[in-house]
Amino acid sequence: MKYKLFNNKIKPTGWLRRQLELEATGLAGNLDKIWPDIKDSAWIGGGAEGWERVPYWLDGFIPLAYLLEDEDMIARADKYINAIISRQQADGWICPCSREERPRYDAWSCFLIGKVLALYCDFTGSKNAEKALYTSLKCLYELMKKGTIELFEWGKFRWFECFIPLKWLYDRQKEEWIISFAKLLRQQGADYPSYAETWKRPLNKWTFHTHIVNLCMMIKYEALTSELLGEKYTNLPEKLWQMLDETNGTAVGTFTGDECLSGRANNQGTELCAVVELMYTCEVLFAATGDAVWADRLEKLAFNALPATISDDMWTHQYDQQVNQIACEKFPGRSLFRTNDSEAHLFGLEPHFGCCTANHGQGWPKLAMNVFLETDKGVLCGLMLPSRLETEIKGVKVSLETVTEYPFRNTCKYVVTAATPVDFELKIRIPAWAQAVKIDGKQVESTEFYCIDKVWEGCEEITLELVRTPHIVDRPLGLKAVEYGPLVFALPLTVDYKMHEYERKGVVRKFPYCDYELSTKDEWRYGLADCDFTVVEREGDSVPFSSVNPRIALKTRLARVEWDYADGFDTVSDWTPVSSVALAPAEDKELVPYGGAKLRITEMPVIE
């Protein structure tokens, strides 16, 4: 691992803290109070779901609680972890099933709860949790070695996720069984590169090897496994990313998948679980390799795809988001999506399926955990986000604060305070989109990293300014998208919300965690009349990626074009317009950040 996490030494500030506060007061921060699969889970002795949902939720809730230093949330996280550990069986088995059920219990949740326990240990230093992690993984290894348990379905296709807690253990206890377990997992796990041909042509067929969340997790597997398996790292993740992006990539850095790969059509969906897992993949790969491209990709996902698919108050979310999304209404006939139902794009408690309800909460906290990373020489500011690091370097107390409104503004002030003089390197990542870079007003060479290696004393400040003009980027079939910095911009459509409160299969939807259909009366058939954009900066409101009061916008001119609905639908735009010839004079319009535009046109033609 090239860089290490600081974990609870990071204190989010500014808009990033506000985003975490919205999550804490929204769905992810309250699932244990309102949702049966968390509130009454078999993991804590209840009768509801006892597989992936509690571990998924804790994977985001634990870092959220500790980053906010929220005593109530910390106590609730402790309650769940203690309840899980207290039910661990004598031989170490930790998942909520009987001995007889173990062979039929998918091992994926064993990997996931191991990942959660390791995360909990990082924040708390709990020896009980470390012992529970050790004995649970040792038990799973012994059962797999005997043939009592074999990997199948999700466990088979997510085998590499177990390497996260395994590597955590191996760094502390270099025992031979850990290496043997790693090799056994690899032996029974799916070989993803052998499925690469199936990623090129989307099918209306559900398979594990084209499942979008599996693939978003999979990209990082070589970085996770190479050390324990004793294999050379070959930069396979980059090759896998390029393969998927070429045939399934979107304008906001995701891959289509609803739930399985869906090609490059801008009206197809991308599952929310895929967004947060792809973010985590980028975080792991940046820390493991030091390659700045993974941080660039992470930013694009975090500032566009993540906020776009969750409501402003973070009480509801979509299962599937569409890049060109002109309505989120139930399809009256067959579903548009290849492998998901007609409600998957609604905003609600658990549209289509509850995995995203449980899992979406990891997105923002884990992003915050990666603002600062520990290096051999000092500190890397990997993400230009408002935060404060409080740590010790060579025995000296050091604080490092990033004061910024990025990505809504393109400047950052770094404030370094050292209790006594101390020598270390401050390494600042420069995003790839920047065409020019200024440090304290002076232009410097635009490279991936800017390093300052010196003796720091007292309080010192460094100001970074990044320069780039708004511009268009190519999309399939001659369409274009507009980017400015790490943000993708879209034409927003005024939203009418239709609320649904009801109960289904014992799960109640009521405000604020009810379901919503979104529609608009706005015209959406537009193309770019010119490629000139004027940047408009505003104060915004208490929601960083606000759908009603964006902090930044681009003024430009658009013109109406001939553009049909997708065949068989009246709430879905066709992938491409019929023509890019203007039907009327150009109009003055504003484009806003994609993440705030819940209904939008993002890919559009340039007017002929």
User: What average pLDDT score do residues 573-590 get?
Assistant: 97
Residue 205, helix vs strand vs coil: coil
Q: Taking Cα atoms as reference points, which of 362, 337, 208 lies closest to residue 271?
A: 337
Tell me the backbone φ, ψ of residue 112, rounded to 5 degrees: -70, -40
Is the pLDDT at 269 greater than 90, yes or no?
yes
What pLDDT does residue 446 have?
83
The label of the residue with tokens 């599952």 reads 271
Q: What is the largest CA-CA distance in the chain?
A: 75
Contact residues for 485 (Cβ-Cβ < 8 A; gap 6+): 406, 407, 410, 431, 433, 466, 468
Q: Say how far apart CA 334 and CA 351 lie, in whole Å.
A: 16
Describe the chain by its helix, strand, coil percentages, rounded to 5. 35, 25, 40
- Percent of the chain scored above 70 by pLDDT? 100
Is the pLDDT at 543 greater than 90, yes or no?
yes
Tokens of 120: 């909990």
Q: Taking Cα atoms as reference points, which of 350, 310, 356 lies closest to residue 507?
A: 350
pLDDT (tens digit per residue) in 435-490: 999 999 999 988 999 999 999 999 999 999 999 999 999 999 999 999 999 999 99
Tell me the backbone φ, ψ of residue 398, rounded to 5 degrees: -130, 135
Phi-psi region of 230 (alpha: psi -120 to 50; beta: other; left: phi over 0): left
Q: Say how far apart CA 185 and CA 181 lie, in whole Å.
A: 6
Contact residues for 127 (Cβ-Cβ < 8 A; gap 6+): none
User: What average pLDDT score do residues 233-261 get?
Assistant: 98
Is the pLDDT at 502 greater than 90, yes or no?
yes
pTM for the structure as a whole: 0.98
Residue 595's pLDDT band, with cuts at 50, 70 and 90, is: very high
What pLDDT does residue 11 have?
97
User: What average pLDDT score do residues 504-510 get?
Assistant: 95
Per-domain boundaries in the chain: 385-430+434-467, 471-601
pLDDT (tens digit per residue) in 51-74: 999 999 999 999 999 999 999 999
The label of the residue with tokens 């915004």 reads 540
Could you tell me if 603 and 323 are in contact, meaning their C-beta atoms sit under 8 angstroms apart?
A: yes
- Prior bond to 351 cis, omega within 30? no
User: What average pLDDT score do residues 192-196 get?
Assistant: 97
How many separate helices (H) and strands (E) can be counted in the chain?
A: 18, 24
CA 565 vs CA 387, 480, 578, 593: distances in Å: 44, 19, 10, 24
pLDDT (tens digit per residue) in 308-324: 999 999 999 999 999 99
Tokens of 25: 């007061």
What pLDDT does residue 451 have?
97
What pLDDT does residue 1 have?
78
pLDDT (tens digit per residue) in 327-370: 999 999 899 999 999 999 999 999 999 999 999 999 999 999 99
Tokens of 37: 């699969």
Backbone CA torsion sign across 129, 274, 217, 370: negative
Q: Say how far apart CA 194 and CA 419 lie, in whole Å.
A: 55
pLDDT, averaged across the chain: 97
User: What average pLDDT score do residues 219-223 get?
Assistant: 98
What pLDDT does residue 148 have?
97
Bridge partners (DSSP) listed for residue 555: 534, 590
What would the CATH number be for the domain defined by 385-430+434-467? 2.60.40
Residue 494's pLDDT band, with cuts at 50, 70 and 90, is: very high
Is the pLDDT at 434 greater than 90, yes or no?
yes
Q: Say how far apart CA 398 and CA 381 lie, in whole Å.
A: 14
Could you tell me if 215 and 261 are in contact, meaning their C-beta atoms sit under 8 angstroms apart?
A: yes
What's 252's DSSP letter? T
What's 19's DSSP letter? H
